[in-house]
Amino acid sequence: MALVENEDALHDVNAVKNKHKRNELVKKIKKKRRAAKKVEKEKRQKLLKEQGLPLPKPQTIDSQRTHDETFVADNDPEVLEDERTDEFAELLGGSDPPSLLMTTCPKPSKATHDFVKELECVFPFSTYKKRKETTLVTQVVEYAKQQGHTAVMIVNEDVKQVNALTLIHLPHGPTLSFKVSSLRLSQQIFGHGKALRDNFPELVMNNFRTRLGRRISRSLQSLFHTKPMCHNRQVATFHNQRDFLFFRHHRYIFEKRKEKVKTGGDEGGAKTQTKIQTRLQELGPRFTLKLQTIQKGILNWKYGDFEWCNTQDNKDSAGYNRRTYVL
């Protein structure tokens, strides 16, 4: 006898008194619905291919964003002229590798320590220095200048979990503050690989279309070498979507696989061919950044001149909350 009359109706599941059995039924129904939805989608795509029609593109909030005055073209002469003289022009235009000093808040937890150790495999020629409890940020910056570092990255935590990242460009700034979320270390990623230590990964910056977005993009680009080691096949990606910066670290893997191919004869014979297939292996870590502030010069929370601040109270003339995207 079935536990419910209709196994596909979620509202009938409430008749099951046992909590664990009720949850199992809900998971079973949702899994069945997802499978049916996938089969219908494959049928629609197959029909469109037979008719020679293009497949529909998924509609997202970011793809439906209309072009506005904040968008800039890649060849905009005014933007290119500003970027020739900004704080990152010398580093991005030269051949010398960047030098990044990474540290943490005082008395970091093991989770923060492990996160910074994995970041050493992402940013080339980076150095991790443990911060003493009495060491101030100004002292860290002065030490980095004396050692010839081009930037300082400070990882902060709250309740033993990484929650913020501050990036200070040397010697004259700017200072960028990010909120960190959705952090997953390499050990938490299924099928992860092991990244090389001193490697120049290829850098992919996706969907930075505004003046502010291009400035953040150049700030992150200045942490990587301008000439990547393509033979190591490692790629670092920053993807901007709805003002969230999603970071992923991958490696290309080329594999030889044998496949049987029909010869087309009357007897229906087949021969074996060796094909090279490419796949991605995630190396980690995986996290999401949310820009909070951009400050001119070196970090100074009390007297600093802020170039941009993230404000959540975006209201129109009628007083309604309105979410706008700036990157």
Domain positions in the chain are: 11-50, 77-258+274-309
pLDDT of residue 3 exceeding 60: no
pLDDT-derived band at 265 (thresholds 50, 70, 90) equals low
pLDDT score for 250: 94
* Mean pLDDT score, 1-6: 48
pLDDT score for 7: 53
Model confidence over 87-107: pLDDT tens digits? 999 889 887 889 999 999 999
Straight-line distance from the first to the last Cα atom of the chain, in angstroms, rounded to the nearest whole number: 57
Which of residues 122 and 69 earns the better pLDDT score? 122
* Mean pLDDT score, 246-266: 82
Least confident of 137-141, 165-169, 310-314: 310-314
pLDDT score for 71: 85
Q: Which two tokens stand for residue 92?
A: 């991005």
Contact 141, 131 (CB under 8 A): no
pLDDT of residue 226 exceeding 60: yes
Instruction: Give the relative orientation of helices 77-84 and 211-221 as an angle to the nearest 10 degrees.
Output: 40
pLDDT of residue 198 exceeding 60: yes
User: Which residue, chain included where needed, has tokens 């290829």?
Assistant: 202
pLDDT score for 267: 61
pLDDT score for 318: 46
Which of residues 29 and 153 earns the better pLDDT score? 153
d(CA 209, CA 72): 6
Q: Which two tokens stand for residue 291?
A: 């820009």
pLDDT score for 268: 60
pLDDT-derived band at 64 (thresholds 50, 70, 90) equals confident
pLDDT score for 257: 81
Contact 212, 112 (CB under 8 A): no
Instruction: Say what percent of the chain tops pLDDT 70.
Output: 91
* Mean pLDDT score, 199-209: 91
Q: By C-alpha distance, which of 181, 149, 135 is closest to 292?
A: 181
Q: By C-alpha distance, which of 101, 97, 100, 128 is closest to 115?
A: 128
Q: What is the CATH number of domain 77-258+274-309?
A: 3.40.50.10480
pLDDT of residue 225 exceeding 80: yes
Which of residues 119 and 58 earns the better pLDDT score? 119
pLDDT of residue 208 exceeding 60: yes
Mean pLDDT of the chain: 87
